[in-house]
Structure formats: structure tokens, C-alpha cells
Chains A and B, each alone.
Chain A
Amino acid sequence: MATIKELSKREDLLSGGHRLCAGCGASIAVRQVLLGANAPVVAGSATGCLEVSTTAFPFTAWKTPFIHNAFENAAATISGVEAAYQALKRKGKIDKDVKFVAFGGDGGTYDIGLQSLSGAMERGHDMVYVCYDNEAYMNTGIQRSGATPFGAATTTSPAGKVRAGKPQQRKDLTQVIAAHNIPYVAQASVSHWKDLIEKAEKAFAVEGPAFLNVLAPCPRGWRIKSDETIEIAKIAVQTGFWPLYEVEDGEWKLNFKPKELKPIVDFLKPQGRFAHLFKPGNEHLLEEYQEQVNKNWAQLKKRCGVE
């Protein structure tokens, strides 16, 4: 891992002046991941907040070659770029070592882009796929996705008289991708920058596909203040809501092991999207929430061989 001094000398490949909201987790995730590449890199992005806010023609915030194609195909698109690189390298038309990374929101990754991602991972392209997970379709106005957690109110899973936000649990995508048996899979958070950049370095270093799922809070959608992004991401890790772990060549490793998890309400309470869970009569939902987190945490510890 590069030292902070070394990192400070690396060029930021996503410049400021983009149009993401203040406090947006997405650009933090992207900049940290790109610091980990430390080599020429071609980046791509799915349609979503990141893409529309960084490429408004005739401007671009990308200082590295960048391609946006559509919503569900960032993985397939970058897999094509990587295939071109392999072919042109073989033909001697290019001699540099180049890295490839695709970014997608949770909608573009867990939902509409899952097939494209699964295919690219299975084919073994030498690329990194990064999901910046803000737990809803933010670009189109905070609609629920497969990554939206239980109980979160979104514009398509609002809290009402008979519904308490999203009725389903979120999909565990990191484990789904781990089941592809690719060289490197990890879950990270913008709050733990050292862990995230280390994981990005590993992801770029392995030969073959790597996947990073990065928690990237959205102040707009989570109903928090724009200076609370990092804090809430940290609490997500400390409560066991978003464990930090990695799967390296099939070896599961928990990267953050608190003696005791903070209660899940510490994560839920500060966020407006969960406000309805704290109304009288919904106590059982909070209990259910805690039980689910405990169960997931116990399962993950078992997989990682941690007691």
C-alpha cells in the first residue's frame, strides 16, 4: 500500500468542477479507487448520477480516457475495451500496460446490469468493476433498487399508512459476485479510505476480473446533511450493516472486526429515509432489523473463519 505522502502525489483522474451534489459519496469512491490504479487507466461508467454529472457536453471531469455507453452495460462495454487492448497488444499496436475499470451505481449493477456484469466476470476479462452503492436509483429521483435496504423509504417504496418503506431485504451482491470464483472480490466503504485504496490496489494488481462493492452514501436520498456522508458510512461499518471484507482467491477475510457491533439504530436514526421506523408501533421492525443484521454478521464471520 502506498503511503499517504505517495498518494498525495498521484494525479486525481476525476477533477473537481463536476456537478455531483456536495457530499456525494460517488465521487469520493471513484477518486479513491483511481488512486489505487497507479497506472494508465481507461474508465467507464453506467448511466446514473456519476455519469450525467461528470460528462455534460462539451465538458468532462475525466482526465483519463472515459466511456459511457448505457445504463445496464458498463461491464460489457469495458470488457470490449479490454478485448481491444488484448488484440492490439498482441498485434504490437500498443505497448503500454493499461488498466480497465467500470463504475456502476447500485441500479446499474445489482439490477439492470447484473447480467452484463456476471458475463464479464465469468469471461475473465482483466478488468475491475466498481459498484458505488448508494442504495437507490438516485439520478432518477430516489427509486428503490435491489440494494435498497429493508424499511428505507424511496419514491417507489414510500412509507405510508400500510407500508413501512421497502418491504424486502437488500440483495447481497458481493456474495453473488464472489460465487463467480474470480480472483478478487471485496466490500469497502468511503469512510475507510485506507482499506478502500488498498483493495483498489489489489483489484488492479490481480490478473483477471475483480469486483469492489463500495458503500457511497447519497445525502439527497438518505436524507442526511451533506457533511455527514463519511460519518454515516463509518457507522454502517461499525453496526455490521456494511461489513468490510474481501475474498482473495476463494479465501474469505473480514477486514474490520469490532469487539462489539454498535446497535443498528445508530445507523438508522440519523437518516430521514428511516424516520417512519421510529414511530410508535414500529418497534418490532427495529427489532427485526437488528436480528437480520446479527444473522448476516454471524454468517459472514463463519465464512471468514472468525469467532
Chain B
Amino acid sequence: MKELRFDDVTVRYGTVRRPFTAVDGVSLVVPAGQVVGLVGESGSGKSTLARAAVGLAPIHSGQILLDGQPVPRRGRVRPLQMVFQDPYSSLDPRMTIGESVAEPIPPGSSRAERREEVARLLALVHLDPSVATALPGRLSGGQRQRVALARALAGQPQVVIADEITSALDVSIQGAVLNLVRELQRELGLSMLFISHNLAVVRYVASHVAVMYEGRIVEQGPVEQVLVDPQHDYTRELLAAVPGNRPTSATPHAPRTRSTS
């Protein structure tokens, strides 16, 4: 596994006359074999930063480096893979699960090897290898997100970027996906940039956290440090907003119940 480094990266959208800076001079390191959480409200530039890393957004200035080398943004070999937020739109509805997962497998392997690799990857994310022949329509949201993880791993990535991969899921399924992320990270030693807007989720999977606000990183550091002693106002606001992090409401109304027949 390698270290991913964003070096003063700026991403601009819009026209020449009305440019809009989505990511503004961001420097950030994802150390080899570590999970870095990236938090911030929607529109703060988290996804744009991720998309810039994998070549889906144009870099205006700055560099994105993998162990000191620029990340290849074209071509067949992609050491950076990404998992998307919405498992309902991230799988081609007309391709079988097996075909989707096989897509990033580097060329040069035989049909049988690819099939075997798909089965191995599906087992890795705790799916029955028989789903390989199914279309995504038959799978639940949680299962689809596992497929998306398997597909990302098929590219034999050095670093995986996970963009809000649990926010479209029911909380009861979210837990299972988070468990899987931690397990994969531990077993494969993945380097990972884990994007979320929920600090409790980031605390659970990441060792470091960076807080993004209006295109800039306003605070970063080890998770315990940032959560215990936040420096930036926005970080404090985020902390206060974590569901369950506030005192539960008092109960002025005594519970009133009735039995059903």
C-alpha cells in the first residue's frame, strides 16, 4: 500500500468569467495503510476532491501524488479506486454483478481467472459467489454497496476512496457495511480516504480526520485529538450535530400505552 498526498490542490468549475472554486488549495496526506476520514457539509468540496483524485474532475492547480509519483488519471491501470454514495446508481442495471465486478480487473487474465477472481472478491465482501450471475435489480442496497466495494478492490488499488458510502443506506445496514470496511482495511492493509458527514461514523473507521469547509481543510489531525479538542468553530458545530451526541430530550410526557386486542 502507498501513501496518497494532495499537494495544494485547487479545482475550479464554471466559466472563465464566473469561476467557482470547489476545492481551494487543499493539502492532505493519507498515510500508507491508514484510514483518513474527511468530514464536512454537502457542497464543501469533499466529493470534488475525491473525483479529482480519480480523474473525474479537472485539477486547476496542485498535484495529487502516490508515493511521490503523480497519480495516473488515464489509461488501464488505476491504482486509485472509488466507491460511490448511491448504490442504486453505481451499478449498471443491465450488467450482471459478475461483469460489473470484473470490469476493473487488469487486462491479461484469462476468462477462468477472471471468474475465479470475481468469486474471491465476492466472498471477501461476504456475498455468495452465486450472485455473480444476478442483475443488480435483485439486490438490496446493502448488498449493492458490497458489490461496489468488491468492484473497487478488483482494480487492485493502492488506495480506496469511499465517498459517503453509507449515507444512502438504512442505519441497520450501515453498521454491516462499516464493519466490512474495517475488516477489509485490517486484512488487506488498505489506505483509505473515507468521506462522510457523520463524525460518529468517521470516528469508528478512521484514525485521522480532516474537516473541510467551503473548499478548504480547516482542521486535521488524529481522530481523538480533533474530537476531544476541536479548534475550528465548524468542527464544534459538526460535533454538536452528531445524532445522539446531545442529551436525550427530557420526557415531560409520561408514556401512555394501551394493549391491542
- The finding on whether chains A and B are genuine partners in a shared complex, rather than unrelated, reads no
